[in-house]
Amino acid sequence: MEDAIQNAKLNQADNIEFLTGDAGQLTEQLLNEGYRFDTVFIDPPRKGCDQQTIETLIRLNSPKIIYISCNPATLARDLAKFTEQGYNVKVIQPVDMFPQTYHVECVVELRKKD
C-alpha cells in the first residue's frame, strides 16, 4: 500500500483512493455509499472468490474487471460465474512468476457486455 501511495504522489494522481480490508465487506460498504467504479481489480486467495464477493462485484456494474489468479481451477469456476452475469473475457495473460514449477499466475480482463 505504501508503494501505491508513493507512486500516486510521484505521478501527481490526485483522483485516487486506496483502501484495504475484506473485499466483500469493503465493496458492499462502498456500494451502499454510492461509489461507482470504472475498473475493479481483484486478487483473491487460491480458493477464489466466494459467492457473496462475486455477487457484490456484479452489483457494482463496473464496465471492466481485472482478475488476478494463482489457481487455474478456481479462476475457471469464477469466470463462468462472471460470464453468466454479463461479462466477456477479453484477455487472459498467463505470467510465469515461478519458473520451472507448475505454478502460474493469470491476469484476466473482463468487460461488461454492451
Q: Reply yes or no on whether 70 is catalytic.
A: yes
Distance CA 103, CA 114 (A): 34
Q: How far apart are CA 6 and CA 53, in angstroms?
A: 29
Rounded-to-integer distance, Cα 104 and Cα 94, Å: 7
Q: Which residues of the chain have pLDDT under 70?
A: none
Q: Which of 54, 70, 75, 110 is catalytic?
A: 70
What pLDDT score was predicted for residue 19?
85
* pLDDT given for residue 82 in this prediction: 98
Q: Which helix (H) or strand (E) holds 54?
A: helix 51-60
Pairing of strands 39-42, 64-69: parallel
Domain ranges of the chain: 2-112
| The CATH number of the domain covering residues in 2-112 | 3.40.50.150
| pLDDT score of 1 | 86
The predicted pLDDT at position 23 comes to 73
pLDDT at position 89:
98
Q: What pLDDT is stored for residue 24 in this prediction?
A: 73
Say if CB 60 and CB 37 are below 8 A apart: yes
Single out the residue of 114, 112, 98, 88 nearest to residue 37, CA to CA: 112
How crowded is the C-beta side of 85, counted as CA atoms within 13 Å? 18
**pLDDT value, residue 27:** 80
Tell me which DSSP letter residue 86 carries: T
